[in-house]
Chains A and B, each alone.
Chain A
């Protein structure tokens, strides 16, 4: 944090004016109540105001490192006392020394010093308290501002995350390319085009209405995956093939909603997009005693260079599995030069 007074020229000017005022006031008090002569009053008054003004700039650094939220109350109070006394001593002693030099050790001044001592202690203490208070207010204000700023930042980054999440749900590449192929189907085969639109709509309805935390039967999930693959097939034709072996008993098991979708999207994105030959996606679901396993595999073109950002989908699946089942051994990835295979094991609920 910058010094709240030294960081702006106008604040410094106000500060100097304030001490000028204090000095004037002090001079007036001296003349009125102590009947000191004119010259001495002026020197004594403004000199002491100037010194105390300088010392109180330093008070900031003491306040800055001595905060209630970071230390115990007694600790703060102790340092507070010590620094108050230190500033008072410094002020009175240096004032005295300078006045000694200026008045050439006059007897008069020594006498005056004794009578004005308690006034100085009172004034110094008061002003020290005043500035301590001011500085604490500044700190509190700045912290509050920072907090508000941080909250606003957090809110906006949350919005960004939600937006990214939504984008991944909608998958604009898929959407616009599909609409483009359907636009051709409309010319060539309106009946087929209508079917495609219904499939595309059903797919989006399913993926947009289910929240990340719900479960669905494997049957429903796979039906939605098939809709997705059917729509992609309009674009790629026979270049994309699906082969599947699924044990009947598995259809009823519950799995996290849209868990498999990113894996099939990867098959298309890194398999079919990047290959000029036929790509076969293999899906195997098998029933085991404690879990059932889902294997999704595809061949990849050995010439195709892996694109960046390949692992977002996989990471997401991994994260969800860990979060939901509190286990980190449920996802296996096997990559060779010409194939990619992901195996997921979903624990079955314990029988009562």
Chain B
């Protein structure tokens, strides 16, 4: 018998019994082996980015970072099998995007159906993580106003209220998010933020800028006809002509 390369599996769930049951079901599996487990979202992001597993069993409700938020912070794209107890919204999202998911509690048979499908995809090595990408796009589309945001800088993950954002700057496919003293790069478009951020708090003042009205100190004349917003931390943000009209309205000037 030749030595078979086993696929690396990681389990993410905050409840020990829930992890254990997957561990038990994975025993004697010839194609897959468990390499590690994580009990919260932060730990999971670190481990997944570091160990680069092929397949992740991912719980959705976890402290601090949900399964969905976690996905956005991954540098590698493993196959994902979602594991959840009761979440009507999520189940609908999975079905629409053909992502594997299992509902707690589950039996060995259901578990192996999901595992089999994922392994098949890994073996054929095509469309890797494609359905997961679609799911991220879908959940970005359907969620209402963004309340909090998961950001990463090096190995440090921060989850914060969007009201702490000072302004957002376009950087090609990415956006740079500025807070009082920090900045974070995020893989998301300006359009996404414009749609998802509370319109009473945030305003797109310029093609490349979205500003948090709460943190504006003043508006200054920059050159003839152009203006800039001075933030409370003295940062300067460009204002376009239409942006200025709307800005005046919002600040009731």
Contact = CB atoms under 8 A, between A and B. Distances in A.
Given A188-B20, A235-B17, A176 B63 contact: no
B174 interface: no
Given A172-B86, A305-B147, A305-B161, A184 B21 contact: yes
Nearest to A308: B147
Interface stretch (A14-22, A81-89, A273-281): A273-281
A180 B17 contact: yes
Given A173-B85, A180-B85, A305-B147, A273 B15 contact: no
A237 B103 CA distance: 22
B104 interface: yes
B194 to A, nearest CB: 22
Interface string B102-121: 01111000000000000000
A305 B103 contact: no
Interface string B184-205: 0000000000000000000000
A44 interface: no
A185 B24 CA distance: 12
B39 A276 contact: yes
A305 B163 CA distance: 12
A237 B17 CA distance: 9
Nearest to A183: B105
Contacts of A180: 15, 17-18, 21, 85, 104-106
A176 B147 contact: no
A181 interface: yes
Q: Looking at chain B's contact residues, is the secondary structure mostly helix, strand, loop, or mixed?
A: loop
Contact of A236 (B15, B20, B21, B24): B15
A221 interface: no
A69 interface: no
Interface in A238-291: 273-276
Interface centre among A181, A237, A275 (most CB of B within 10 A): A181
A179 B104 CA distance: 8
A181 B86 contact: no
A183 B21 contact: yes
Contacts of B24: 184, 187
Contact of A184 (B18, B85, B147): B18
B228 to A, nearest CB: 32
A273 B16 contact: no
Given A180-B104, A187-B24, A274 B86 contact: no
A90 B18 CA distance: 86
B64 interface: yes
B159 interface: yes
B79 interface: no
B64 A274 contact: yes
Contacts of A234: 17
A276 B63 contact: yes
Nearest to B59: A177
A175 B159 CA distance: 29
B61 interface: yes
Nearest to B85: A176
Interface string B141-155: 000000110000000
A27 B59 CA distance: 86
A140 B110 CA distance: 59
A276 B64 CA distance: 8
A181 B21 CA distance: 8
Contacts of B17: 180-181, 184-185, 234-235
Contact of B85 (A177, A182, A236, A276): A177
A339 B40 CA distance: 21
Nearest to B20: A184
Interface in B10-63: 14-18, 20-21, 24, 39-40, 42, 61, 63
A23 B57 CA distance: 84
Nearest to B160: A305
A177 B104 contact: yes
A40 B232 CA distance: 90
Contact of B18 (A175, A181, A275, A303): A181
A12 interface: no
Interface of A: 172-173, 175-177, 179-185, 187-188, 234-237, 273-276, 301, 303-305, 308
22 contacts: A175-B86, A176-B85, A176-B103, A177-B86, A177-B104, A180-B15, A180-B17, A180-B18, A181-B18, A183-B21, A184-B24, A188-B20, A235-B17, A236-B15, A274-B64, A276-B40, A276-B63, A301-B64, A303-B64, A305-B159, A305-B161, A308-B147
Interface of B: 14-18, 20-21, 24, 39-40, 42, 61, 63-64, 85-86, 103-106, 147-148, 159, 161
A-B pairs, 3 with minimum CB distance: A180-B104, A181-B17, A176-B85
Given A177-B85, A180-B104, A276-B14, 12 more contacts: A172-B85, A173-B61, A175-B86, A176-B103, A180-B17, A180-B85, A181-B15, A235-B18, A274-B64, A275-B63, A276-B42, A305-B147
